[in-house]
Amino acid sequence: MKQSRLFTKTSKTVPADEVSKNAQLLIQAGFIHKEMAGVYAYMPLGLRVIENIKRIVREEMNGVGGQEVLMTTLQPKDIWEKTDRWSDAKVDNWFKTKLVNGTELGVGLTHEEPIVDAVSNYVSSYKDMPFAVYQIQNKFRNELRAKSGLLRGREFLMKDMYTFCRDQKQHEEEYEKIVAAYFKVYTRLGLGDITYRTYADGGIFTPRFSDEFQTLSEVGEDNIYVDEDKKIAINEEILTDENLAKLGLERKKLVQKKGVEVGNTFHLESKYTDALDLYYNDEKGEKKSIIMGCYGIGVSRLMGVIAELFADEKGLMWPASIAPFAVHLVSLGQDEQAEKIYADLSAAGVEVLFDDRDVSAGEKFAGSDLIGIPYRVVISKKSLEAGGVELKKRSEQANEIIAIKDLISLLKK
RNA sequence: CGGGGCGUGGUGUCAACGGCUAGCACGAGUGGUUUGGGACCAUUUAGACAGGGUUCGAAUCCCUGCGCCCCGACCA
């Protein structure tokens, strides 16, 4: 894309009403637009990042057999009453609204009930299971206090998957497959080394522990205790001697850290299927309960975490896997040559942001650093005299001159 | 929801004693000079969150509402 046509612009000033680093950087660089507290819109660069994260999540969920659907945001009251999750006393962060005729509706904050309701049209036999259904959709939660930019909003993008199994054993197999897929996602996002499977409270879902996926960061809201050897952690909220013994962890080996919850997985047992009257017939024709699991990944929160963690004083530093573009091509008064490189790279399938604007070199460089595309290619009088174009990684100081003919093969890979 | 801070052009502003035409910078427009780190000159553009009150006079003081941020609580 030609930057002269990109309607967003980088700003020299940071927004005064944001303290959170991820929101400051993302707004300054033009990735997101703040609509109101805890509610952000995605501009072209930001949407590209979101779509890249979604693509990775989608690939890994498909990889474990997940089938993608798209549920509705508007929710009927009755199915939520069956599981006793409608009343404000039970779930206090619903957004609710009404039809003209007065019928109450909810605005989806999670989707166990509607998923069970939808699959109940199709599921009745042991032969139907196991299966996994997921969606990537905006969730709405009426948080008392939005904070930390994209890390805790009232409207946010989430991947939520639900598994349906014949029994506990089958559920455990599905569950562990999905946990493994979660780590593939985090690894591909560059967060693998600093993201821990963390035992946590199962909440009102289940008496069992749930798993949280906590990415280490000082901006995290959760206190977790990490066992470096086992690469697992336990959330402070369930840190008791009894639980440690149950989990085979030793208190003296644990190190306290701050984490951002970038995913979670729950064992739902048959709480929702039973409540919504979804059962199956086994081989003998006997009616049995269906065992469910649910699995969330905060897509927009991941974008915030990555913006927060992968940045320096000059701006963002996107991992190549989700960067809005692969290459930032900067022309310094060499537009004709740059146009050709742009065309050649694009033809080779390389995603290029081409800074063809008629602005000073300093402005181009500052903007490029702020946007944080992994590779910067500068073509200038100076680079041409040195034998080609200058190639620099955003994450490194050094640059090298390479011949134009070698550029494509290098970046294509 | 409890506590605290705040609201000045598109953006920023620890700019302005209750008093002169609301200042400066960035951005944007126009013309020109530039072209390796947000370059320069000239010129133009554009502002008090909303409503009420006090006052001869309010950006400034008071009230109400709305909004934003932070701490805490909450967080399926």
Name the residue closest to B7, CA to C1'.
A17
Which residues face A254 on adjacent strands?
A227
Which residues face A341 on adjacent strands?
none
Same domain assignment for residues A186 and A161: yes
Same domain assignment for residues A308 and A336: no
Whose C1' is closest to the CA of A152: which nucleotide? B75
The CATH number linked to A398 is 3.40.50.800
pLDDT for residue A399? 94
The string of pLDDT tens digits covering residues A138-186 is: 999 999 999 999 999 999 999 999 999 999 999 999 999 999 999 999 9
The residue among A279, A312, A345 that closes a domain is A312
Same domain assignment for residues A196 and A118: yes
Same domain assignment for residues A50 and A121: yes
Distance, in Å, from the CA atom of A229 to the CA atom of A226, rounded to the nearest integer, reads: 9
If one counts the domains in chain A, the total is 2
Cis peptide before A374 (omega within 30 of 0): no
The distance (Å) linking the CA of A17 with the C1' of B72 is: 20
The distance (Å) linking the CA of A15 with the C1' of B16 is: 23
In this predicted structure, the answer to whether residue A202 has a pLDDT above a threshold of 80 is no
The string of pLDDT tens digits covering residues A317-345 is: 999 999 999 999 999 999 999 999 999 99
Does A7 reside within a domain?
yes
The distance (Å) linking the CA of A341 with the C1' of B21 is: 54
Q: Are strands A32-36 and A39-42 parallel, antiparallel or unpaired?
A: antiparallel
Same domain assignment for residues A123 and A260: yes
Cα Rg, chain A, nearest whole Å: 24
Does A320 reside within a domain?
no
The string of pLDDT tens digits covering residues A359-391 is: 999 999 999 999 999 999 999 999 999 999 999
The string of pLDDT tens digits covering residues A69-108 is: 999 999 999 999 999 999 988 898 999 999 999 999 999 9
Same domain assignment for residues A278 and A354: no
Does A167 reside within a domain?
yes
Percent residues over pLDDT 90 in chain A: 91
Whose C1' is closest to the CA of A332: which nucleotide? B35
Does A317 reside within a domain?
no
pLDDT for residue A207? 63
Same domain assignment for residues A346 and A303: no
Same domain assignment for residues A287 and A341: no
pLDDT for residue A17? 87
Q: Say if CB A326 and CB A375 are below 8 A apart.
A: yes
pLDDT for residue A45? 97
pLDDT band, very low/low/confident/very high, at A206 (cuts 50, 70, 90): low
Mean pLDDT, range A395-400, rounded to an integer: 94
Strand B positions within 7 A of protein Cβ atoms: 1-2, 11-13, 26-28, 34-39, 67-76
Give the residue numbers spanning the domain of A37. Answer: 3-312
Task: Report the mean per-residue pLDDT for chain A.
Answer: 94
Whose C1' is closest to the CA of A390: which nucleotide? B36
Same domain assignment for residues A349 and A293: no
Does A318 reside within a domain?
no
State the CB neighbour count (10 A cutoff) for residue A242: 8
The distance (Å) linking the CA of A363 with the C1' of B48 is: 32
pLDDT for residue A173? 97
Does A150 reside within a domain?
yes
The residue among A260, A288, A312 that closes a domain is A312
Same domain assignment for residues A147 and A288: yes
The distance (Å) linking the CA of A17 with the C1' of B14 is: 16
Same domain assignment for residues A345 and A368: yes
pLDDT band, very low/low/confident/very high, at A204 (cuts 50, 70, 90): low
Name the residue closest to B36, CA to C1'.
A361
The string of pLDDT tens digits covering residues A276-299 is: 999 999 999 999 999 999 999 999
Whose C1' is closest to the CA of A91: which nucleotide? B76
The distance (Å) linking the CA of A257 with the C1' of B55 is: 58
pLDDT for residue A203? 66
Distance, in Å, from the CA atom of A104 to the CA atom of A78, rounded to the nearest integer, reads: 10
pLDDT band, very low/low/confident/very high, at A226 (cuts 50, 70, 90): very high
Strands (DSSP E) contained in A166-227 are 195-200, 210-216, 222-227
Same domain assignment for residues A295 and A353: no
Whose C1' is closest to the CA of A359: which nucleotide? B35
Q: Which residues of A298-322 are buried (b: 16+ CB within 10 A; e: fewer)?
A: bbbbbbbbbbbbbbeeebbbbbeeb
Does A255 reside within a domain?
yes
The CATH number linked to A123 is 3.30.930.10
Does A319 reside within a domain?
no
Q: What angle do CA A13, A18, A24 make, to 5 degrees?
A: 55
DSSP element (H, E) containing A48: helix A44-63
pLDDT for residue A10? 94
The residue among A288, A312, A336 that closes a domain is A312
pLDDT for residue A264? 95
The distance (Å) linking the CA of A302 with the C1' of B58 is: 47
The string of pLDDT tens digits covering residues A101-139 is: 999 999 999 999 999 999 999 999 999 999 999 999 999
**ipTM for the whole complex:** 0.93
